[in-house]
Amino acid sequence: MRTALLSTAMLLLAACSSGPGQAADAPAAGVGKLPFTVTPVAAFDAPWAMTFLPDKRMLVTEKAGRLLLVTADGGSRLTVAGTPAVFSQGQGGLMDVVLHPAFATNRLVYLSWSEEGPGGQGVALGRGKLVESGGQARLESFQVLFRAQPFVSGTQGHFSGRIAFSPDGKYLFFTNGERQKFDPAQDAKATLGKVLRLTPEGKPAPGNPLAARSFNPAVWSYGHRNLLGIAFDAQGNLWEQEMGPKGGDEVNLILPGRNYGWPQASNGSHYDGRDIPDHKPGDAFEPPKVWWNPVISPGGLMIYSGNLFPQWKGDAFIGGLSSMALVRVHLDGTNASKGDQWDMGKRIREVEQGPDGAIYLLEDKAGGRLLRLTPAA
């Protein structure tokens, strides 16, 4: 679990970064004057994720379990009925919201959430049809498509639950955290600590690379910790970010069948100070493309494709929780390097791109605002 309060010294350290070929005390670029105008749009109760509808309205999830349909200006909102019951304790709650690629015709909305079940709690994936009538909205015929295996007790963290569709719309990628249990990330039978590739109906996708090695047939990659962002770039590369332990937050290029090392390798250490072997050549683990020590506590992940900020087109944007920052990572094909880190003054849970190319942020916790970023005048 992340410590909610950081000392002044740790806040100063959060403005430093390290990564492949970079000194651990190298200052992060971009700390200082913001190169964008920040406009508050609305406020929510512990918002977690958002997505835009074709008509520019937004769906926003709140941790306690509400799904809200919000107008583009934030001035009007509806509570969407028909959502699942959630386990909203610790890091659990209602999490990601993503539209089916053919939403304009089928109106299908996908959600992830944590729930109670046999053996404890786990993350689930489901979908329903967004129906509006009489000034009300609901998810009709909502069904659970997939549940993490196994559910575990004794911890309320590392559910993950991020969703991304492949560019061709044929597959759904779903992240399952290792639930602070370490070893499940390397357990072939568990979905915990994994990136999963599913069909849009929630079944293991045919041809997944590890099924022939007796892995759970849904697994695409493994050896992950707490995967709180996943997105495809314009070239079809799949990028993921995850929280490390004490140090070692990561951005990874996700490749089929690869082992990303957790908990056997990490560029961080255990919270009690015990060492974890760093990633190194020849260790059989896929190393991160970028990593941070001290941590940024990465939240959502977005890869920018708009025109309002042409200088950042193709780059990744990450919300910083403990770092209270918006973090830019420059992507160059299958390579990545650190860009800017802007102090936003609040924990940033989610980053999304708007239909107009603006960058939208959701602040974490009660009263978390939706912020719209546009180029500075």
The two three-digit tokens of residue 344, written as one number: 């936003």
156-179 burial: b if 16+ Cβ within 10 Å, else e: bbbbbbbbbbbeeeebbbbbbbbb
Planar angle of CA 315, 331, 278, nearest 5 degrees: 125
- Does 277 sit behind a cis peptide bond, omega within 30 degrees of 0 on the bond before it? no
Beta pairing class for 160-165 and 172-176: antiparallel
Rounded Cα gap, residues 50 and 359, in angstroms = 12
Rounded Cα gap, residues 377 and 64, in angstroms = 38
Closest CA to 58 of 366, 352, 367, 376: 352
- pTM listed for this prediction: 0.91
What is the number of alpha carbons within 13 Å of residue 109 lying toward its C-beta?
31
Rounded Cα gap, residues 111 and 84, in angstroms = 9
User: Quick check: helix, strand or coil at residue 127?
Assistant: strand
Beta bridge pairs of residue 214: none
Identity (one letter) of the amino acid at 320?
A: G
- Please list the pLDDT of the chain residue by residue as tens digits (377 residues): 433 333 333 333 333 333 333 323 233 334 458 999 999 999 999 999 999 999 999 999 999 999 999 999 999 999 999 999 999 999 999 999 999 999 999 999 999 999 999 999 999 999 999 999 999 999 999 999 999 999 999 999 999 999 999 999 999 999 999 999 999 999 999 999 999 999 999 999 999 999 999 999 999 999 999 999 999 999 999 999 999 999 999 999 999 999 999 999 999 999 999 999 999 999 999 999 999 999 999 999 999 999 999 999 999 999 999 999 999 999 999 999 999 999 999 999 999 999 999 999 999 999 999 999 999 98
Rounded Cα gap, residues 146 and 232, in angstroms = 22
Beta pairing class for 238-243 and 108-117: unpaired
The two three-digit tokens of residue 342, written as one number: 């802007």
Query: If one looks up domain 8-375 in CATH, what number appears?
Result: 2.120.10.30
Longest alpha-carbon distance in the chain:
62
Which pLDDT tens digit goes with each residue over 143-198?
Answer: 999 999 999 999 999 999 999 999 999 999 999 999 999 999 999 999 999 999 99
What is the number of alpha carbons within 13 Å of residue 124 lying toward its C-beta?
21
330 is catalytic: no
DSSP string computed for 138-168: EEEEEEEEEE-SS-B-S-----EEEEEE-TT
Closest CA to 112 of 47, 161, 171: 161
Closest CA to 61 of 51, 73, 75: 51
Among 100, 158, 224, 279, the active-site one is 158
Which pLDDT tens digit goes with each residue over 16-36?
Answer: 333 333 323 233 334 458 999
The domain spans of the chain are 8-375
Rounded Cα gap, residues 77 and 210, in angstroms = 44
Rounded Cα gap, residues 114 and 117, in angstroms = 10
